[in-house]
Chain A
Amino acid sequence: MTMRSRRVLFLVAAAIFGFLFVWGLSGLPSFGDYRGPYGIVLGQIVMSERHTTEAVGATTFDYRGFDTMGEEYILFAAVMGLVILLRELRGERTEEEEEEEYPVHRRRREASDALRVLGLALVGPLVVLGIYIVVHGHITPGGGFQGGVILAAALILVSLAGRYPAMRRVRPIPLVELADAGGAAGFVLVGLGGLIAGSEFLYNFLPLGEPGTLLSSGMIPLLNISVGLEVAGAFVLLISEFLDQQFISGLGEE
């Protein structure tokens, strides 16, 4: 395609896009004009119905809890797929095996002192922040997903700050997998509790408690914790698989 025809094609496409874009924008409601009925209704009833001060958390984990379960399993399935795709193939060798064969010392993996000190100093606060955000998901903004990713970040920071081959030996992968699977299963088990209590799946069957306290909002904190476990496990697995790839040489045959 010549430069000239490409330019003509671009100008035609840009003109059509510009027209549709301006047309679409002109039909938008004005700034701050919210027309959906559900948000307004939820904002009014969440406090009295579910004893939670976080309308978003109550919506995602209670009023539309089934959708959230689907989202949780999307992440679960995606990470499972990644783990299968990035498994060690025949013909690939890890660096440790290579070092045993050719004892050439590779120094470039050592983290700098600044990264190591800052990384290790941040691990503790990040763990506390992650747990805080998970368990306060029904009181303040945040919840299982956000807190779970922060918890995973703390573990990832350890592998950034430490020497990776040493990390590989002590990394609790079975524990991480257990958290991932246990969190995913926990959501369904809490949902089944609603059935056992004699109502529908994911019915909020637990006592609602005093609004604004940690033990309130019925099953919402339990769902937050199970999602937090699942997300933290999933993200640690995901980054671990990517990290492992750095230490595998050869393209592999299969």
Chain B
Amino acid sequence: MTVLQGVLLVLVALGGTAVVLVRDPLRQSIVAGVFGLLLGLLFFAFQAPDVALSQIVVGSLALPSMIVLTLAKLARLQRPDE
């Protein structure tokens, strides 16, 4: 295992913990996006560039945007005459 792989493993562990510890859903979606990016870098360091690309586009793009849009809809339902 190289130093880079070790550092990224630790960063992914910290990122995953951060996602759980952040309790506000909106902030959580952003932290989850950063976590997705870290996971992508980890896959890249482990010589799996195909998986890394998929992880980056889905984990830090598609997933957070869907969560943010859902949260916006929920906020709108709670305050209908904003």
Contact = CB atoms under 8 A, between A and B. Distances in A.
A246 B49 contact: no
B28 to A, nearest CB: 18
Given A146-B57, A242-B69, 18 more contacts: A54-B50, A56-B50, A57-B50, A133-B53, A146-B54, A149-B58, A149-B61, A150-B57, A238-B62, A242-B70, A245-B69, A245-B73, A246-B69, A246-B72, A246-B76, A249-B76, A249-B80, A250-B80
Contacts of A235: 62
Interface of A is mostly: helix
Contacts of B61: 149, 153
A242 B73 CA distance: 9
Contact of B73 (A141, A150, A153, A246): A246
B7 interface: no
A149 B57 contact: yes
Interface of B is mostly: helix
Contacts of B3: none
Contacts of B50: 54, 56-57, 141-143, 146
B48 to A, nearest CB: 8
A98 B58 CA distance: 35
B20 interface: no
B38 to A, nearest CB: 18
A101 to B, nearest CB: 14
Nearest to B66: A242
Given A31-B1, A245-B73, A246-B73, A239 B53 contact: no
Interface in A197-254: 235, 238-239, 242-243, 245-246, 249-251
Interface in B28-82: 49-50, 52-54, 57-58, 61-62, 65-66, 69-70, 72-73, 76-77, 80
Interface residues of B, number: 19
B75 to A, nearest CB: 10
**Which 5 A/B pairs are nearest by Cβ-Cβ distance?**
A141-B49, A149-B57, A242-B69, A146-B53, A56-B50
Contacts of A239: 62, 65-66, 69
Nearest to B49: A141
Contacts of A54: 50
A245 B52 CA distance: 31
A187 interface: no
A120 interface: no
A153 B66 CA distance: 12
Interface in A119-157: 133, 141-143, 145-146, 149-150, 153, 156
